[in-house]
Structure 1
Amino acid sequence: MLRTRGLSPGALWLAAAAGCSTVAPAPGFWRTTGTEGPTEPAAVPIGRTFHLVRVPDGPAERAHQHLKTSAVKVGPVLAHHHAWDFFVPIWLADGRDMPGGVVITGTRLPHTVSCPMPGEPATTTTHWVVAPDGSGTLTDPRSLSKALAHTSIRELLQHPHAGAGQREEGAPEPTGGY
Protein backbone atom coordinates (compact mmCIF):
# COMPACT_ATOMS: atom_id res chain seq x y z
CA MET A 1 0.00 0.00 0.00
CA LEU A 2 1.40 3.42 -0.96
CA ARG A 3 1.53 6.07 1.73
CA THR A 4 0.56 9.49 0.37
CA ARG A 5 -1.46 11.19 3.11
CA GLY A 6 -0.27 12.85 6.26
CA LEU A 7 3.37 13.18 5.18
CA SER A 8 5.54 15.37 7.39
CA PRO A 9 7.39 18.36 5.89
CA GLY A 10 10.61 16.30 6.10
CA ALA A 11 9.03 13.41 4.20
CA LEU A 12 7.76 15.83 1.55
CA TRP A 13 11.28 17.32 1.23
CA LEU A 14 12.76 13.83 0.70
CA ALA A 15 10.09 13.02 -1.88
CA ALA A 16 10.91 16.26 -3.73
CA ALA A 17 14.65 15.46 -3.47
CA ALA A 18 13.86 12.18 -5.22
CA GLY A 19 12.04 14.06 -8.01
CA CYS A 20 8.60 12.97 -6.87
CA SER A 21 5.56 15.18 -6.66
CA THR A 22 5.18 16.44 -3.13
CA VAL A 23 1.44 15.87 -3.44
CA ALA A 24 1.70 12.17 -4.28
CA PRO A 25 5.13 10.52 -4.32
CA ALA A 26 5.79 8.03 -7.09
CA PRO A 27 4.39 4.52 -6.61
CA GLY A 28 6.73 2.48 -4.45
CA PHE A 29 8.44 5.50 -2.88
CA TRP A 30 7.23 4.73 0.65
CA ARG A 31 5.16 1.61 0.88
CA THR A 32 3.56 0.34 4.05
CA THR A 33 3.73 -3.28 5.06
CA GLY A 34 0.00 -3.21 5.80
CA THR A 35 -2.85 -0.81 6.41
CA GLU A 36 -1.30 0.58 9.58
CA GLY A 37 2.11 -1.08 9.26
CA PRO A 38 5.47 0.68 9.18
CA THR A 39 6.72 2.14 5.95
CA GLU A 40 9.56 0.61 4.00
CA PRO A 41 12.58 2.87 3.40
CA ALA A 42 12.58 4.82 0.14
CA ALA A 43 15.53 4.92 -2.28
CA VAL A 44 16.42 8.61 -2.61
CA PRO A 45 18.95 9.50 -5.34
CA ILE A 46 22.14 11.22 -4.22
CA GLY A 47 23.26 14.21 -6.28
CA ARG A 48 19.96 15.84 -7.19
CA THR A 49 19.46 17.89 -4.01
CA PHE A 50 22.28 16.79 -1.70
CA HIS A 51 25.54 14.87 -1.44
CA LEU A 52 26.47 12.66 1.50
CA VAL A 53 29.50 12.57 3.73
CA ARG A 54 29.71 9.05 5.20
CA VAL A 55 31.59 8.86 8.52
CA PRO A 56 32.18 5.85 10.83
CA ASP A 57 29.73 5.99 13.73
CA GLY A 58 32.17 6.83 16.58
CA PRO A 59 33.78 9.88 14.93
CA ALA A 60 30.39 10.85 13.46
CA GLU A 61 28.75 10.93 16.87
CA ARG A 62 31.58 13.06 18.32
CA ALA A 63 31.51 15.43 15.30
CA HIS A 64 27.72 15.75 15.57
CA GLN A 65 28.02 16.62 19.26
CA HIS A 66 30.72 19.19 18.43
CA LEU A 67 28.49 20.78 15.76
CA LYS A 68 25.57 20.98 18.22
CA THR A 69 27.66 22.56 20.98
CA SER A 70 29.11 25.01 18.43
CA ALA A 71 25.56 26.05 17.47
CA VAL A 72 26.07 24.97 13.83
CA LYS A 73 22.83 24.13 12.01
CA VAL A 74 22.89 20.44 11.17
CA GLY A 75 20.87 19.05 8.29
CA PRO A 76 19.62 15.48 8.02
CA VAL A 77 21.87 12.77 9.44
CA LEU A 78 21.09 9.11 8.82
CA ALA A 79 22.69 6.30 10.88
CA HIS A 80 23.08 2.83 9.40
CA HIS A 81 25.50 -0.11 9.29
CA HIS A 82 28.13 1.42 11.63
CA ALA A 83 28.27 4.71 9.72
CA TRP A 84 26.43 8.02 9.63
CA ASP A 85 25.50 9.94 6.48
CA PHE A 86 25.56 13.73 6.79
CA PHE A 87 23.47 15.41 4.07
CA VAL A 88 25.51 18.30 2.59
CA PRO A 89 25.05 20.74 -0.33
CA ILE A 90 25.75 19.46 -3.83
CA TRP A 91 28.64 21.80 -4.63
CA LEU A 92 31.26 19.27 -3.54
CA ALA A 93 33.45 17.86 -6.29
CA ASP A 94 32.93 14.18 -7.05
CA GLY A 95 35.42 11.96 -5.28
CA ARG A 96 36.70 14.72 -3.02
CA ASP A 97 37.72 13.31 0.31
CA MET A 98 36.91 14.82 3.64
CA PRO A 99 39.21 13.94 6.53
CA GLY A 100 37.44 11.23 8.48
CA GLY A 101 34.71 10.73 5.89
CA VAL A 102 33.94 9.78 2.32
CA VAL A 103 32.02 12.11 0.01
CA ILE A 104 29.30 10.38 -2.01
CA THR A 105 27.93 12.49 -4.85
CA GLY A 106 26.26 10.07 -7.24
CA THR A 107 27.91 11.91 -10.14
CA ARG A 108 30.19 9.18 -11.53
CA LEU A 109 27.95 6.30 -10.51
CA PRO A 110 24.28 6.70 -9.65
CA HIS A 111 23.75 6.11 -5.94
CA THR A 112 20.70 6.13 -3.74
CA VAL A 113 20.37 6.26 0.01
CA SER A 114 17.72 4.16 1.73
CA CYS A 115 15.69 6.62 3.85
CA PRO A 116 13.05 5.67 6.37
CA MET A 117 10.12 8.02 6.54
CA PRO A 118 10.90 10.88 8.95
CA GLY A 119 8.80 10.57 12.09
CA GLU A 120 8.30 6.84 11.70
CA PRO A 121 9.90 4.34 14.09
CA ALA A 122 13.46 3.32 13.26
CA THR A 123 14.14 0.14 11.32
CA THR A 124 16.51 -2.46 12.70
CA THR A 125 19.37 -1.10 10.59
CA THR A 126 18.59 2.56 9.88
CA HIS A 127 17.38 5.57 11.85
CA TRP A 128 17.45 9.33 11.66
CA VAL A 129 19.87 11.03 14.05
CA VAL A 130 18.56 14.32 12.66
CA ALA A 131 15.47 13.88 10.50
CA PRO A 132 14.80 16.27 7.61
CA ASP A 133 12.42 18.97 8.77
CA GLY A 134 11.30 20.24 5.38
CA SER A 135 13.36 23.44 5.55
CA GLY A 136 16.03 22.18 3.16
CA THR A 137 18.76 22.80 5.74
CA LEU A 138 21.92 20.84 4.91
CA THR A 139 25.08 20.55 7.00
CA ASP A 140 27.84 22.95 5.99
CA PRO A 141 30.72 20.73 4.78
CA ARG A 142 33.38 23.15 6.06
CA SER A 143 31.86 23.05 9.54
CA LEU A 144 31.61 19.26 9.36
CA SER A 145 35.24 18.99 8.25
CA LYS A 146 36.36 21.23 11.14
CA ALA A 147 34.28 19.18 13.59
CA LEU A 148 35.81 15.93 12.33
CA ALA A 149 39.32 17.39 12.57
CA HIS A 150 38.62 18.79 16.05
CA THR A 151 37.32 15.47 17.36
CA SER A 152 40.25 13.57 15.79
CA ILE A 153 42.78 15.90 17.43
CA ARG A 154 40.97 15.62 20.76
CA GLU A 155 41.04 11.82 20.49
CA LEU A 156 44.80 11.87 19.82
CA LEU A 157 45.44 14.23 22.73
CA GLN A 158 43.43 12.03 25.10
CA HIS A 159 45.12 8.81 23.90
CA PRO A 160 48.50 9.87 22.45
CA HIS A 161 50.06 6.41 22.49
CA ALA A 162 47.05 4.31 21.52
CA GLY A 163 48.34 1.48 19.39
CA ALA A 164 51.89 2.86 19.19
CA GLY A 165 54.46 0.32 20.34
CA GLN A 166 51.98 -1.58 22.45
CA ARG A 167 51.89 -5.33 22.57
CA GLU A 168 49.33 -7.68 23.92
CA GLU A 169 49.67 -8.78 27.52
CA GLY A 170 51.67 -11.99 27.69
CA ALA A 171 53.18 -11.53 24.22
CA PRO A 172 56.90 -12.33 24.06
CA GLU A 173 59.45 -9.52 23.87
CA PRO A 174 60.59 -8.85 20.30
CA THR A 175 63.99 -10.33 19.49
CA GLY A 176 66.57 -9.58 16.84
CA GLY A 177 66.18 -7.26 13.87
CA TYR A 178 63.97 -7.34 10.86
Structure 2
Amino acid sequence: MTGHKTAVDWLASVAPDPDACRWEWERNPLGVVLLPAGKAWDVLILPGGLGLPTLDVLIRVLDRPGPVLVDFGDHRAGFFVPPGTAARWLGTGIRTAGPGTWIVVPHPGRATRGVRWLVPPDGSGTLTDPALLELAMHEAAAGPAGGRRGGG
Protein backbone atom coordinates (compact mmCIF):
# COMPACT_ATOMS: atom_id res chain seq x y z
CA MET A 1 0.00 0.00 0.00
CA THR A 2 2.96 2.36 0.41
CA GLY A 3 3.33 2.46 -3.38
CA HIS A 4 -0.20 3.84 -3.62
CA LYS A 5 0.48 6.39 -0.89
CA THR A 6 3.58 7.53 -2.73
CA ALA A 7 1.65 7.76 -6.02
CA VAL A 8 -1.11 9.73 -4.28
CA ASP A 9 1.44 12.13 -2.81
CA TRP A 10 3.19 12.56 -6.18
CA LEU A 11 -0.08 13.30 -7.98
CA ALA A 12 -1.49 15.53 -5.23
CA SER A 13 1.73 17.57 -5.08
CA VAL A 14 0.58 19.59 -8.12
CA ALA A 15 -2.78 20.52 -6.59
CA PRO A 16 -3.21 24.04 -5.25
CA ASP A 17 -3.91 22.42 -1.85
CA PRO A 18 -2.50 18.85 -1.72
CA ASP A 19 -4.21 18.05 1.59
CA ALA A 20 -7.61 19.13 0.25
CA CYS A 21 -6.93 17.10 -2.89
CA ARG A 22 -6.26 13.93 -0.88
CA TRP A 23 -9.34 14.61 1.27
CA GLU A 24 -11.52 15.03 -1.85
CA TRP A 25 -10.07 11.88 -3.44
CA GLU A 26 -11.02 9.79 -0.43
CA ARG A 27 -14.56 11.18 -0.25
CA ASN A 28 -15.51 11.63 -3.90
CA PRO A 29 -17.77 8.67 -4.81
CA LEU A 30 -16.32 8.68 -8.34
CA GLY A 31 -12.77 8.45 -6.97
CA VAL A 32 -11.50 11.29 -9.18
CA VAL A 33 -10.11 14.81 -8.77
CA LEU A 34 -9.15 17.57 -11.17
CA LEU A 35 -5.41 18.28 -11.27
CA PRO A 36 -3.50 20.94 -13.20
CA ALA A 37 -1.28 19.76 -16.03
CA GLY A 38 1.96 21.54 -16.83
CA LYS A 39 3.61 21.40 -13.40
CA ALA A 40 5.01 17.89 -12.90
CA TRP A 41 3.74 16.52 -16.20
CA ASP A 42 1.90 17.27 -19.41
CA VAL A 43 -0.51 14.79 -20.97
CA LEU A 44 -0.69 13.74 -24.62
CA ILE A 45 -4.16 12.41 -25.39
CA LEU A 46 -4.37 9.92 -28.24
CA PRO A 47 -7.49 8.42 -29.82
CA GLY A 48 -8.04 4.96 -28.32
CA GLY A 49 -7.49 3.21 -31.65
CA LEU A 50 -3.94 4.58 -31.66
CA GLY A 51 -3.32 4.98 -27.93
CA LEU A 52 -3.86 1.37 -26.90
CA PRO A 53 -1.61 -0.11 -29.63
CA THR A 54 0.97 2.57 -28.81
CA LEU A 55 0.96 1.46 -25.19
CA ASP A 56 1.47 -2.14 -26.37
CA VAL A 57 4.57 -1.03 -28.29
CA LEU A 58 5.91 0.93 -25.30
CA ILE A 59 5.42 -2.02 -22.97
CA ARG A 60 7.52 -4.18 -25.33
CA VAL A 61 10.46 -1.74 -25.28
CA LEU A 62 10.38 -0.23 -21.79
CA ASP A 63 10.57 -1.78 -18.35
CA ARG A 64 7.86 0.64 -17.31
CA PRO A 65 6.33 3.52 -19.28
CA GLY A 66 5.07 6.59 -17.47
CA PRO A 67 1.49 6.74 -16.23
CA VAL A 68 -1.27 6.21 -18.78
CA LEU A 69 -4.96 7.03 -18.32
CA VAL A 70 -7.85 5.78 -20.41
CA ASP A 71 -11.39 7.13 -20.48
CA PHE A 72 -14.63 5.20 -20.21
CA GLY A 73 -15.00 3.06 -23.30
CA ASP A 74 -11.28 3.30 -24.15
CA HIS A 75 -11.94 6.17 -26.59
CA ARG A 76 -8.87 8.18 -25.50
CA ALA A 77 -5.57 7.33 -23.81
CA GLY A 78 -3.56 9.97 -21.94
CA PHE A 79 0.21 9.53 -21.69
CA PHE A 80 2.00 11.47 -18.94
CA VAL A 81 5.06 13.18 -20.47
CA PRO A 82 7.53 15.81 -19.20
CA PRO A 83 6.28 19.36 -18.64
CA GLY A 84 6.73 21.52 -21.73
CA THR A 85 5.89 18.72 -24.17
CA ALA A 86 2.37 20.01 -24.85
CA ALA A 87 3.68 23.40 -26.02
CA ARG A 88 6.05 21.77 -28.53
CA TRP A 89 3.91 18.88 -29.73
CA LEU A 90 2.77 18.87 -33.34
CA GLY A 91 0.55 16.00 -34.33
CA THR A 92 -2.76 15.68 -36.09
CA GLY A 93 -5.48 14.21 -33.92
CA ILE A 94 -3.40 14.36 -30.72
CA ARG A 95 -4.74 16.58 -27.95
CA THR A 96 -2.43 18.09 -25.38
CA ALA A 97 -2.84 19.14 -21.76
CA GLY A 98 -0.20 21.52 -20.45
CA PRO A 99 -0.12 24.73 -18.40
CA GLY A 100 -3.57 26.22 -17.94
CA THR A 101 -5.41 22.91 -18.39
CA TRP A 102 -6.83 20.52 -15.83
CA ILE A 103 -7.32 16.78 -16.17
CA VAL A 104 -9.55 14.27 -14.42
CA VAL A 105 -7.29 11.96 -12.43
CA PRO A 106 -8.53 8.80 -10.71
CA HIS A 107 -7.15 7.67 -7.37
CA PRO A 108 -4.20 5.38 -8.18
CA GLY A 109 -5.09 2.80 -5.55
CA ARG A 110 -8.80 2.34 -6.12
CA ALA A 111 -10.96 1.00 -8.89
CA THR A 112 -13.00 3.78 -10.44
CA ARG A 113 -15.73 4.04 -13.01
CA GLY A 114 -14.98 6.02 -16.10
CA VAL A 115 -11.40 7.28 -16.25
CA ARG A 116 -8.96 4.64 -15.05
CA TRP A 117 -5.25 3.86 -15.02
CA LEU A 118 -3.77 1.51 -17.61
CA VAL A 119 -0.35 2.23 -16.14
CA PRO A 120 -0.74 3.75 -12.69
CA PRO A 121 1.91 6.11 -11.36
CA ASP A 122 4.32 4.54 -8.91
CA GLY A 123 5.24 7.81 -7.21
CA SER A 124 8.77 7.88 -8.62
CA GLY A 125 7.98 10.59 -11.16
CA THR A 126 8.59 8.32 -14.16
CA LEU A 127 7.21 9.89 -17.34
CA THR A 128 7.17 8.67 -20.93
CA ASP A 129 9.84 10.17 -23.18
CA PRO A 130 7.97 12.07 -25.94
CA ALA A 131 10.43 11.01 -28.66
CA LEU A 132 9.98 7.37 -27.72
CA LEU A 133 6.21 7.88 -27.56
CA GLU A 134 6.26 9.32 -31.07
CA LEU A 135 8.24 6.35 -32.40
CA ALA A 136 5.84 3.96 -30.68
CA MET A 137 2.90 5.82 -32.24
CA HIS A 138 4.42 5.40 -35.72
CA GLU A 139 4.97 1.69 -35.15
CA ALA A 140 1.45 1.27 -33.77
CA ALA A 141 -0.05 3.17 -36.72
CA ALA A 142 1.82 0.94 -39.17
CA GLY A 143 0.13 -2.11 -37.65
CA PRO A 144 1.49 -5.48 -36.55
CA ALA A 145 4.87 -6.48 -37.96
CA GLY A 146 3.35 -9.63 -39.43
CA GLY A 147 0.79 -7.58 -41.32
CA ARG A 148 3.49 -5.41 -42.95
CA ARG A 149 5.44 -8.36 -44.31
CA GLY A 150 2.34 -9.92 -45.86
CA GLY A 151 2.32 -12.24 -48.82
CA GLY A 152 4.62 -10.39 -51.21
Indicate if the aligned counterparts of 2:6 and 2:122 stay in contact, CA closer than 8 A.
yes
Count residues with an aligned counterpart.
143
TM-score under structure 2 length normalisation? 0.80
Please, which of 78, 81, 87 is the counterpart of residue 80 of structure 2? 87
Alignment of 1:1-178 (within 5 A): 8-21=5-18, 24-26=19-21, 29-33=24-28, 38=29, 40-71=31-62, 73-81=64-72, 82-92=75-85, 94=87, 96-98=89-91, 101-106=94-99, 110-123=100-113, 125-154=114-143, 158=147
Q: Which structure has more RCO (C-alpha within 8 Å, separation ≥ 6)?
A: 2
Q: In 2, distance between residues paired with 1:83 and 1:32?
A: 26
SS state of the match for residue 98, structure 1? coil
Unpaired stretches in structure 1, ≥5 consecutive residues:
1-6, 160-178
TM-score under structure 1 length normalisation? 0.70
Identity value in percent = 27
Deviation, structure 1 residue 111:
1.2
CA RMSD of aligned residues (A): 2.6
Q: Name the stretch that deviates more: 139-148 or 12-21.
A: 12-21
Q: Which is higher, the Rg of structure 1 or of structure 2?
A: 1
Q: In 1, distance between residues paired with 2:22 and 2:118?
A: 27
Unpaired stretches in structure 2, ≥5 consecutive residues:
none
Deviation, structure 1 residue 49:
1.1
